[in-house]
Amino acid sequence: KTYSQSVTLKASHISLYEVFNNISRQTGYEFVYDAQLVKRTAPVNIDVKQATIADVLKNCLSGNPTLTYTIVDKTIVISARALPKASHGAPAATITGKVVDAQGAALIGVAVQVKGTTRGILTNDQGEFSIQANAGDILVFSYLGYDAQSVTVGEATSLTITLQQSNKQLDAVVVTALGVKRTEKSITYATQQVGGEELTKAKDANLINTLNGKVAGLSISTSSSGVGGSAKVILRGSKSGLGSNQALYVIDGVPMNNTVTNQPSSIYGGSNSYDGGDPISNLNPDDIESVSFLKGASAAALYGSQGANGVIIITTKSGRSGKTAVNLSSGFMLSSVAMKPKFQNEYGAVGTNSQSWGDKFSGGGHDNLDDFFRTGYNWTNSISLSGGNEKMQTYFSYANTSANSIEPTNKLGRNNINFKETGHFLNDKLTAIADVNYVTQEIDNTPLAGNYFNPLTGLYLFPRGGNLKQYKDQFELPDPSRNYLNVQNWPFDEDIQQNPWWILHRNTNSLTRNRFLGNASLKYDVSSWLNITARGSIDRVADKYEQKIYAGTLKVLAPSTGVYNMNDQTSTQQYGDLLANFNVPISKDFKLTGVLGASLLDTKIDGYKLGSTGADSLRYPNIFTVQNMTAIDPSSSGNLPENHVQTQSVFASANLSFKDWLFLDLTGRQDWSSALAYTQNNHYFYPSAGLNVILSQLLKLPQAITFGKVRGSYAVVGNAPLAYQSHAAENTLTSGGIRVNTSAPFDNLKPEKTKSLEVGTEWRFFDSRLDVDVTYYKTNTTNQTMQISASQASFYDNYFINAGNIQNQGIEATVKFDVIRSKAFSWNTAFNFSTNNNKIISLSPQVDRFTISGASGANYASYFKKGGSYGDIYGVGLAKDAQGRIQFDTSGTPQLTSGDMIKIGNSNTKWQLGWNNNLSFKNFNLSFLIDGKFGGDVLSITQSLMDSYGVTPATASARDAGGVKVNGVNIVTGEAVTMANAQKWYSTIGGRQGASSQYMYSATTVRLREAAFGYTVPIEHSFVKALKVAATGRNLLYFYKKAPFDPEMTMSTGNGLSGIDVFMLPSTRSYGLSVNATF
Amino acid sequence: CTKNFERYNSDNTGLTDDQLSGDFNNLSYLKSAQRSIYNFSGGGDPNSYQVQQNLNADCFSGYFMSPTVFNGGQNNLNYFMVTGWNGEAFKVGYLNVMAQVAKLRSTGLETNFPAIWAIAQITQVEAMSRVTDIYGPIPYSKAGQSKTDIAYDSQEEIYKRFFLELDSASNNLRSFIASGQKIPVDSTKYDAVYGGNLTQWLHFANSLRLRLAIHILYADAAMAKEQGQKALDPANGGVITTNSDNFQLLTSDAGLTNPLVFISQNWGDIRINAAIQSYMTGYKDPRISRYMNTSTDATVGAVYKGIRIGGVTASNQKSDYQGYSQLSTSTFNINAPVVLMTAAEVYFLRAEAALNGWSNTGGDAKTLYETGITTSMLQWNASSGAYLTDNTSVPAAYTDPKNSANNLPSPSTITIQWNDAASTEEKQERIITQKWIAMFPEGQEAWTEFRRTRYPRLFPVKNNLSGGLINTDIQIRRLPYPQQEYNTNGAQLQNGISLLGGADNGGTRLWWDKKP
């Protein structure tokens, strides 16, 4: 290796970090410095040709009174400059004081100098200083990254100085694939970074929900499964019909186990479709330093198939050398129902009928919902400790979350422990990091969406005018015929409803999760241009689910002695990789950096499931033990399929830069996947390329333009199929005996392929006060693995094909603007905008549709067909004649379309806009986020059923008006029909088999999603270093919403049931207080 | 290193064909096929059977009616055909029966154990004849030969194929029985009906041939006669004559239950139909207490009371009719065997054959008719008393104590005692009416015979929500094809519909549905 002493560098507004990087690249010298020291430095302008290292360092450190350097061998050590102590001159007074930042936090190491003298000192760990000065002397306070301040010494001998952060933006460093850090400007694809504070401003039991509306191109749908439920997180639109569309999470460079728990697959929901929360929801938001989003396939090309849907990279906090910092944070949020369905209060039921199609009653009715819903809360408390020395740094945290849902008995308790240790060995050439997380979580009574086991069906459909209170007070009654065993007290015997409180207390479920997540890495600096990193992680999620259905439950749902279901499932992901990072200056102008590596990812789910079904499932009622099961049904019990998938990969990336204004990225990766075993080819290769031009460095741009960049990239990413698709079991065991598998084997299976093209440009104006980033992307996903229904006469129920071309294209834009940045008052605002247009370009010559969801006994299905798009909702409409008149039979019943279902809408948002604001005035800080999702339609089966039961206001006003005005025709007589009987009309168009087309609503919603008002308590000379209190709120206000439920909520985070509401738990509005203290 | 990939990508809960072949366990495909004819192979949850047969044929045949307000009171039971229900019989026929039989064949059964192969063929004919009798033309000769584009056969072709398959099966059985050999495999591995008794299988094969021959009497009288006489020819081994030969499936294996009983007792989703109650009450039939309980509804009183088909509407709730007569809890326990063909039915088939002048009926119509009744009485452990000579009792009028709009006069004047002087038509009504009573609770065959002969005279549906597609008096003739066929096999399905010769709805008659 050769070392060069000459450096050529021309850049304006470049960070010290980058300068060091450049020097290192050009010379082979290595830098050693405390990242914290350099982090707050202001950018510099530099223009040197063939200069020595010393010159360059002098040049760029000259403005920094606190940094100095020494060169030892081939290592440049950047350290804090020791200022000379005051020595002679014997000034009159001792001035003491404290230097803080705008938020009131103490600033450590601020240089305090008496102007014109050599007297100076650095502030201590508490930000305090003490210096000898005469009245009239000028004290200069300077600190990297902050505007210097001068104070003339007057009579006061104690000063508090507030330094304002310098407004010059630093050139950010972005964490990219495999944990490689790169400067933002060299990146050839769109990224967006969010600081950890955005996760903790107004906490949610699932941290990912707090990012909703903050990132362009990110769509988050919250599950309706109560506290701790999972979320559907999609970057740039859904691409795969059968595979996952959810983004990949990467924690500190290692992919996270993101096994999704059970989700309902039909409108009935049912006992086993519980949602136990996705793995991301288990994390403690206080442990997270920052989150960055690599939205496109290019960004993710190095992650391989897992990254085809984009990547969310999470960087966790580490210990810091220096004085131990203790942080306590506590937040308490209350939540209430944001919107309730509307009811009529005029007409009751006839006799003991369950439907409200009877006579008018007097007395105005009763709000049964008030007797049911409660105020929920989410209380989180966390403590973190950070400290260490230059060789070892430690981070420890513990967090406790306790949450109650608005649905009684649904609650969550979670404990997170995190311990992270960083050590430097062998002259700092070897760095070892170990990070251990343990999470315990218990969720009780996850609401089961859908028609079955859902308390909301009975609650909403109960005859109007009736008071449910009696069924709340006595949800069970002793049954003399069963020797006074308590059984359900409910007047109706209908499969979709039970006593709501019976469900809460006697159809209970609980999910206990124990999760271990451990990461370890070793990095060895072989030379200044090469380091080798080895990493390993294990992420083990052990879930135990229990459901206890008591005797006295509706007979169609459970036998007379009750049902006990349990499921013990462990999902283990092991990851290991070996990387060589290199950094080679090829010539003066060309630099090459890159990675060579290999990885192994092994994911396995196993466990067992026990369920009692059949005539007499439990021997003795209400004894929920395995011993008490009379028969275990082998078709639904026993060990779970192992679902074992292993991917082995080799990959390489090269990043070539020319004169720091042209960057070329090339990556290639080859995957071998076990899911492709039994096919002709078990491996696949995919490349990506990107190009980047920094216009502001290449051209002489007007003064107002601080930075300009255009970028473009193209990538192909493969996506391996799911386990067993290529090799379905030949036979299965059921209680009836051996059964031939009805899914055809797929031995010519190929991996899905996503081709992605994106171009973007990024501009900063007026000293980076205005920042604009625009991206256009287009992805085409082909070779889709589709499970196609077969004609059952083929002896298969379904088979797989590779086909189709699903295209997503859209535009993403972010605009950030510092509207006001004065010392006392600042306001910065940011917009993020995105559109996504999904189109099925082609499907398959063999089939005309692919079914995502749809079940028997439903008036809803989700298909995609050629020319349609992902998320199309199909349903039943009203039969009309050629003139568009609704057809009625002679009894006055409207006729519905028969045969194939018709398209009635699409659930996808067409475009979304988020507007995030931060205002601060002195010690006060206000932030709020308004976001809108525009376009798309959603279907409410809830309204459809409520209409058919006659409980909605529409059914009452129709009865008041003597019927429903229609433009109809009698199909027998041909006579016009102008008025339809209200009951006939709503019983037919509503209900489970009604005209779903009549229950489509616009999904457009504009809301005040998040607001926080904080105050930083000014603190002096206390063991408390900082204290901040804030009032926060989430989902506070809907500015626009037409649907009867929150269209953002989803029954399932899977691919199906998108935009379908079947008695989902209502969305909530929450507000509360948070306190954050640092010691 | 990818050497473990195949192991990782193998479902540990499944079984390979190899793993199954030991101990002849792969023969158990036959058992699961048998258990799917009337599907109870799904274990404890009889939902498949409920839509395969119970909410269709069992009710259309006049045996049962549901008190449950399915789909808001709009469902098959008032001719509002529920798409999600109509495909189950089709699905079970192919996936649970034919696919298993095809798998058996692929094990080399045809050459290794021709006698067991014969049982498999008979099982398939028994199962698939029920499927074609529901829909009409279905894929049969080309079934299982490709993943897509599977041709439909006309019902006539399918019946011809059934007869050929029965020929092959009977020949195999006869020659194996004649050889005096024994099958060296424990019969509990493969036979849930006759425990490997091949003579009983031969009797059933001939009885099934007779049943199918009678089905096509009005469509192809010559073929009906040819096949009927072949079935009855003593040289071919004979038909079922005693109750010990009844075709019944045992539900005694772990986890299996009689799905009809389950639906009745556990779900309360099925009750006795007004028709069977009205006939049996009118006839003072001694079997009535074996068939049904008296009502537990206080409004009705402790009498036998069925529900009129279509009489449960949107304005009802389940409890309104749940207290009406249910399937007898003393005769039927949760593990009661599923009986699909009885000796009594065969006597009535022979009686009709005699009425048509076929040879080898082994008696005249009167004798066979009366033996049919007495055999049935024996089967139900009831005493005939003066039943055979009752020439005055007629079916009772029906009254619904909860809704007089459901009331109807007696559906028929037919009496019990045989009358040689009666017209052929009246004789047929008498035979079919008694056959119908005897076949309870097997609604699939009863519905087929009702459609073929229009007997017994059943109460018309109370509310007809078919939108004019199904005639209330003629009653429902078939089920529409499954939605999945439209989605996956559309072009061939259209051929099937043209073979059907009418629109794909419940009002179109099948090929054999041609009674003048």
Token digits of residue A699: 């051209």
Nearest to B489 among A616, A644, A791 (CB): A791
**Which residue of chain A comes nearest to B489, CA vs CA?**
A791
Residues of B in contact with A789 (CB under 8 A): 484, 487-488
CA distances from B454 to A222, A640, B457, B477, B514 (A): 57, 51, 6, 11, 11
**Which residue of chain A comes nearest to B493, CA vs CA?**
A791
Share of chain A above pLDDT 90, in %: 40
**Which A residues, 618 through 677, put their C-beta within 8 Å of a C-beta on chain B?**
631-636, 638-642, 644-646, 648, 672-677
Instruction: Give me the residues paired with residue A130 across strands.
Output: A96
- Taking an 8 Å cut-off on Cβ atoms, the answer to whether A740 and B29 are in contact is yes
- Taking an 8 Å cut-off on Cβ atoms, the answer to whether A648 and B13 are in contact is no
- Taking an 8 Å cut-off on Cβ atoms, the answer to whether A791 and B44 are in contact is no
Q: Which amino acid is at A798?
A: N
**Which CATH number is associated with domain A6-80?**
3.55.50.30
Q: Say if residues A67 and A40 touch (Cβ distance below 8 Å).
A: no
Task: Flag whether pLDDT at A564 surpasses 60.
Answer: yes
ipTM attached to this prediction: 0.91
Q: What is the pLDDT along chain B (516 residues), one digit of tens a residue?
A: 788 998 898 888 888 888 888 889 899 999 989 999 999 876 557 889 999 999 999 999 999 999 998 877 889 999 999 888 999 999 999 999 999 999 999 999 999 999 999 999 999 999 999 999 999 999 999 999 988 899 999 999 999 999 999 999 999 999 999 999 899 999 988 999 999 999 999 999 999 999 999 999 999 999 999 999 999 999 999 999 999 999 999 887 767 889 999 999 988 999 999 999 999 999 999 999 999 999 999 999 999 999 999 999 877 888 899 999 999 999 999 889 999 999 999 999 999 999 999 999 999 999 999 999 999 999 999 999 999 999 999 999 999 999 999 999 999 999 999 999 999 999 999 999 999 999 999 999 999 999 999 999 999 999 998 988 999 999 999 999 998 898 889 899 999 999 999 999 999 999 999 998
Q: Say if residues A516 and A538 touch (Cβ distance below 8 Å).
A: yes
Task: Flag whether pLDDT at A942 surpasses 70.
Answer: yes
Task: Flag whether pLDDT at A722 surpasses 80.
Answer: yes
- What is the 3 state secondary structure string of A360-410? ECCCCCCCHHHHCCCCEEEEEEEEEEEEECCCEEEEEEEEEEEEECCCCCC
What is the rounded CA–CA span in Å between residue A987 and residue A989? Answer: 6
- Taking an 8 Å cut-off on Cβ atoms, the answer to whether B32 and A737 are in contact is yes
Q: Say if residues B49 and B269 touch (Cβ distance below 8 Å).
A: no
Q: Which amino acid is at A791?
A: S
CATH 2.60.40.1120 given to domain A93-163: yes
Residue A87: predicted pLDDT: 43
Task: Flag whether pLDDT at A1 surpasses 50.
Answer: no
- At A442, the pLDDT band (50, 70, 90 cuts) reads very high
What is the rounded CA–CA span in Å between residue A599 and residue A547? Answer: 39
Q: Say if residues B516 and B509 touch (Cβ distance below 8 Å).
A: no
- Taking an 8 Å cut-off on Cβ atoms, the answer to whether A792 and B28 are in contact is no
What is the rounded CA–CA span in Å between residue B121 and residue B128? Answer: 10
Q: Return the DSSP state at A452.
A: B
What is the rounded CA–CA span in Å between residue A917 and residue A687? Answer: 39
Domain ranges within chain B, ordered by starting residue: 25-262+331-500
Token digits of residue A833: 């905008």
Task: Flag whether pLDDT at A935 surpasses 70.
Answer: yes
The helix (H) or strand (E) run that includes residue B70 is: none
B25-262+331-500 is classed in which CATH architecture?
Alpha Horseshoe (1.25)
What is the rounded CA–CA span in Å between residue A776 and residue A780? Answer: 14
For CA atoms B274, B279, B281, B282, give the dihedral sign.
positive
- Taking an 8 Å cut-off on Cβ atoms, the answer to whether A730 and B44 are in contact is no
**Which residue of chain B comes nearest to A740, CA vs CA?**
B100
Residues of A in contact with B13 (CB under 8 A): 638-641, 729, 732-733
What is the rounded CA–CA span in Å between residue B251 and residue A1020? Answer: 83
- Taking an 8 Å cut-off on Cβ atoms, the answer to whether B44 and A614 are in contact is yes
Residues of B in contact with A674 (CB under 8 A): 2, 4-6, 8-9
Q: Say if residues A677 and B5 touch (Cβ distance below 8 Å).
A: yes
What is the rounded CA–CA span in Å between residue A707 and residue A22? Answer: 19
Q: Between helices B365-379 and B424-439, what is the axis angle to 10°? A: 20
**Which residue of chain B comes nearest to A889, CA vs CA?**
B467
Helix, strand, coil distribution of chain A in percent, nearest 5: 10, 50, 40
- Taking an 8 Å cut-off on Cβ atoms, the answer to whether A847 and B15 are in contact is no
Contacts across the A-B interface (CB distance below 8 Å): 277
Nearest to B257 among A494, A615, A948 (CB): A615
Instruction: Give me the residues paired with residue A672 across strands.
Output: A648, A683
Best of A791, A849, A862 to mutate (most B CBs within 10 Å, chain B):
A791
Residues of A in contact with B14 (CB under 8 A): 728-732, 741
**Three-point CA angle A723, A726, A731, nearest 5°:** 90
Best of B68, B316, B488, B497 to mutate (most A CBs within 10 Å, chain A):
B488
- At A729, the pLDDT band (50, 70, 90 cuts) reads confident
CATH 3.30.1490.20 given to domain A174-871+907-936+1003-1078: no
Q: Say if residues A307 and A298 touch (Cβ distance below 8 Å).
A: no
A67-72, strands of its sheet edge to edge: A30-32, A75-80, A67-72
Buried b (16+ CB within 10 A) or exposed e, A15-31: bbbbbbbbbbbbbbbbb
Residue A40: predicted pLDDT: 58
Residues of B in contact with A354 (CB under 8 A): 317
CA distances from A8 to A5, A15, A22, A46, A660 (A): 10, 16, 9, 10, 11
CA-based nearest distance B53→chain A, Å:
16
Q: Say if residues A57 and A76 touch (Cβ distance below 8 Å).
A: yes
Q: Say if residues B452 and B435 touch (Cβ distance below 8 Å).
A: no
CA-based nearest distance B257→chain A, Å:
7
Residue A736: predicted pLDDT: 67
CA-based nearest distance A251→chain B, Å:
26
Domain ranges within chain A, ordered by starting residue: 6-80, 93-163, 174-871+907-936+1003-1078, 872-906+941-999
Nearest to B72 among A350, A742, A987 (CB): A987
**Which residue of chain B comes nearest to A799, CA vs CA?**
B147
The number of CA neighbours under 13 Å toward the Cβ of A225 is 34
**Which A residues, 884 through 923, put their C-beta within 8 Å of a C-beta on chain B?**
889, 893, 895, 899-900
Is A174-871+907-936+1003-1078 the same fold as A93-163? no
Instruction: Determine the average pLDDT of the residues in A575-590.
Output: 89
Phi-psi label, residue A352: left if phi above 0, alpha if psi -120 to 50, beta otherwise: alpha
Q: Say if residues B101 and B492 touch (Cβ distance below 8 Å).
A: no
Taking alpha carbons only, the member of A162, A200, A123, A197 closest to residue A923 is A162
Phi-psi label, residue A351: left if phi above 0, alpha if psi -120 to 50, beta otherwise: left
- Taking an 8 Å cut-off on Cβ atoms, the answer to whether B254 and A735 are in contact is yes
Nearest to B334 among A615, A638, A639 (CB): A615
Q: Say if residues A773 and A190 touch (Cβ distance below 8 Å).
A: yes
Residue A85: predicted pLDDT: 45
Task: Flag whether pLDDT at A568 surpasses 80.
Answer: yes
- Taking an 8 Å cut-off on Cβ atoms, the answer to whether B144 and A793 are in contact is yes
Chain-centroid distance, C-alpha A1063 = 24
Phi-psi label, residue A236: left if phi above 0, alpha if psi -120 to 50, beta otherwise: left
CA-based nearest distance A771→chain B, Å:
48
